[in-house]
Amino acid sequence: MARMKFLCDADRCIECNACVTACKNEHEVPWGINRRRVVTINDGRPGERSISMACMHCTDAPCAAVCPVSCFYTTADAIVLHDKDLCIGCGYCFYACPFGAPQYPRVGNFGGRGKMDKCTYCAGGPQQDNTLVEYTQYGANRIAEGKLPLCAEMCSTKALLAGDGEMIATIYRERVQRRGYGSGAWGWRTAYRTTVNA
């Protein structure tokens, strides 16, 4: 089995937000929820980089570690998913997540945030694959169709890579060697405790 990861090549990302739009459209993500976002650091200064960030599907995921109801599980492809029927919307996963990935449909409305929503790596949820109930709760299940996440597929500059960790790291290393620079794989140290050295 593959070990699925995301890698954002920040030297290629042009902050077009196509990944964000693709994600919202593919999964019909409601207002106020962003499973993926583009963060620009050093905006307008030397060293400006844009990084597309979503759930990184961590090794030893912090969300799963702190969840009071143990609603998280990891698939054979190392994708971190959760069961919305078990989630109580306590918000703990957001406090623990290094990447701000967990989202809640009713933030600020006291008494309940609603069921947490996050990037599923286009792998749906615990429901039967590619059913209406799965789509309503978690969005499309492209992995079950043999496809990779749409955000990475849509990326116009191929900055965002999705797929087996070893394969996308190899692609990134080759790029860095060819062009002679690279700011590294954002979030990899935090999420996977590895780095990509060219």
Partner 1 sequence: MRRILLAPFMVLFLALAAPGLIGGALAQPAAGARGAISAEELELQRMLQGGRIEGRTTLPDAQSEVLIQPAGKAWRDFHNVTLAWVGGIAVGGMLLILIAFYLGRGKIMVEGGLSGRTIQRFNLLERANHWMVATCFIILGLTGLNLTFGRHLLLPIVGPEAFTAISLYGKILHNFLAFPFTLGIVLMLLLWVKDNIPNGRDIEWFKQGGGLIGKGHPKAGRFNAGQKMVFWITTLGGAAVAVSGYLLIFPFWGEFGVAEMQLAHIVHSIISVLMIAAMLAHIYIGSIGMQGAFDAMGTGQVDLNWAKEHHSLWVEEQQKREAAAPRGAQPAE
Nearer to partner 1, 47 or 146 (CB): 47
Determine which residue in the list 19, 22, 38, 159 makes contact with partner 1, applying CB under 8 A. Answer: 38
Of the candidate residues 2, 28, 30, 43, the single one contacting partner 1 (CB under 8 A):
43
Q: Are 116 and 89 in contact (CB under 8 A)?
A: yes
Structure tokens, 124: 């749906």
34 is a contact residue toward partner 1 (CB under 8 A): yes
Tell me: does residue 165 bind partner 1 (CB under 8 A): no
Q: Which residues contact 81 (CB under 8 A, 6 or more apart)?
A: 72, 73, 74, 75, 120, 121, 123, 124, 125, 126, 138
Residue 98 in the binding site for partner 1 (CB under 8 A): yes
* Contact status: 110 vs partner 1 (CB under 8 A): yes
**130 versus 195: smaller Cβ distance to partner 1:** 195
Nearest to 96 by CA among 190, 196, 168: 190
Q: Please, which residue, 6 or 142, has the CB nearer to partner 1?
A: 6
Interatomic CA distance for residues 120 and 72, integer angstroms: 11
Does residue 107 belong to the site contacting partner 1 (CB under 8 A)? yes
Q: At its nearest, how many Å lie between partner 1 and the CB of residue 111?
A: 5
Residue 74 one-letter amino acid: T
**Strand 160-164 versus strand 4-8 pairing type:** antiparallel
Backbone angles phi, psi at 123, to 5 degrees: -115, 15
Q: Which residues bind to partner 1, rule: CB under 8 A?
A: 10-11, 17, 32, 34, 37-43, 45-49, 51, 53, 62, 65-71, 83, 85-92, 94-100, 107-108, 110-113, 180-181, 183-190, 195
